[in-house]
Amino acid sequence: MSAVHVTHVSLARDYRGAQRQLELLVRGLAGHGIPQRAVVGSRRLAEALGDVPGLEVRRAEGTPFAALAIPGACRVVHAHEVAAAPAALFRQQTGGPPYVVTQRLAPSPRAPRLVRRACRRAARLVAVSQYVVESIRAEDPSLTPVLIPSGVAPMPSDPFKVERLRRRYEGRFLVGNVAPLDDRLRGQRVLIDVARQIQSTHPHVHFLLLGDGPDAAALREAAKGLTNLEFAGWVDDVSNYLGALDLFAYPSREEALGSALLEAMACGVPVLASEVGGVPELVSPQTGRLVASGDSAAFAQALIALAENSALREQMSEAACKQADRFTAERMVNSYLRLYGALGYAAPTAKITAP
């Protein structure tokens, strides 16, 4: 294998938006011929990266420091969440290269001191939204984070499978949510409350929750008795489900930007979301509606208004596609290529396209 230019590190054990963004970046860099290594804690992510050419994949076992105690040199280490930053710092202090940290959430005052120190020592600290940039600056004005938004790749769907899903829910207004079942962050209980509020008044509205997570059992218990809401679990063909939706509902309680929102918008699905974090950077009155986080009554009111206005949804669908075009994976990859190149730690020879 050629000398590794970039070592990516993600110690998370699950596969969520951050891991999807890492996968998109790795695939994009591979398309430019960049030799890479990925040190990952997620089995699902390791499997997803298995077919990327020029990539060495290693599972992260043990402590964060052990994750980077691996043979082979590289030109830059890229920590894809702040929890991996101490591993990158440790690697640097033991003779390794400088490192980049991508911060995907607003900084937490409860973050361990070592994590904060590792983020401050990074050669570049990247924020995925203007909201995260401003949050970082508010906590430490000495930091100058670089804004590189999350990206979305084309999500081809199977017309036959989309049509089959539409026939399954024929006559219903299908409202979907794609997110880990983690109510503290993603707010699925709001959707359960909304479903209960409108079950008798708007029986044609049907809620479909895709995903799995730590709150799966509790959320299923909370939804007992509802005939207008179902849990689909983890699905591999998300794009087919998105293609069958009338509305994407995202009642997140905390969000730096929202890669799931980007994927829905790229499929032309209007969005109803919580007005939190960086979500307003994606969702405008042209592409969807925003309501206060946790306000199930306001969520229900906005949902019904959209369900009863097909012409408005059609306009939003077109605008959503155009908005998603501003956040492509290609733009994200090119931004990181320029960042690596400016630091002098990687020398990609492939042509970088304009943003």
List pLDDT tens digits, range 102-136.
Answer: 999 999 888 899 999 999 999 999 999 999 999 99
d(CA 230, CA 210): 9
pTM of the model: 0.90
Backbone angles phi, psi at 171, to 5 degrees: 85, 0
Amino acid in the structure at residue 191: L
CA distance readout (Å), 216 to 223, 228, 234: 11, 17, 11
pLDDT at 333 over 60: yes
Distance, CA of 3 to chain centre: 30
Evaluate if residue 38 carries a pLDDT over 60. Answer: yes
pLDDT at 155: 83
- What is the Rg, in whole angstroms, of the alpha carbon atoms belonging to the chain? 21
Residue 284 phi, psi dihedral angles, 5° rounding? -120, 175
Helix (H) or strand (E) holding 175: strand 173-178
The encoded tokens of residue 113 equal 């001191």
Angle at alpha carbon of residue 128, lines to 43 and 242, rounded to 5°: 65
CB 275 within 8 A of CB 292: yes
Residue 177 has pLDDT above 90, yes or no: yes
Question: What confidence score (pLDDT) does residue 164 get?
Answer: 95
pLDDT bin (cut points 50, 70, 90) of residue 71 is low
Which two structure tokens, joined as six digits, stand for 76?
Answer: 């830059």
Q: Which of 118, 113, 127 is nearest to 96 (CA)?
A: 118
Give the range among 61-75, 77-91, 138-152, 294-308 with minimum mean pLDDT: 61-75
Using the predicted structure, report yes or no on whether residue 60 has a pLDDT greater than 90: no
Q: What is the mean pLDDT of residues 217-232?
A: 97
Is residue 70 a contact partner of residue 48, using CB atoms and an 8 Å limit?
no
Q: What percent of the chain has pLDDT over 90?
A: 79
Q: What is the mean pLDDT of the chain?
A: 91
Q: Give the integer Cα–Cα distance in Å for 146 and 149.
A: 10
Work out the pLDDT band at 355, boundaries 50, 70, 90: very low
pLDDT class for 94, splitting at 50, 70, 90? confident
For helices 329-343 and 17-31, the axis angle rounded to 10 degrees is 70
Looking only at the bridges linking them, the beta strands covering 36-40 and 4-10 are parallel
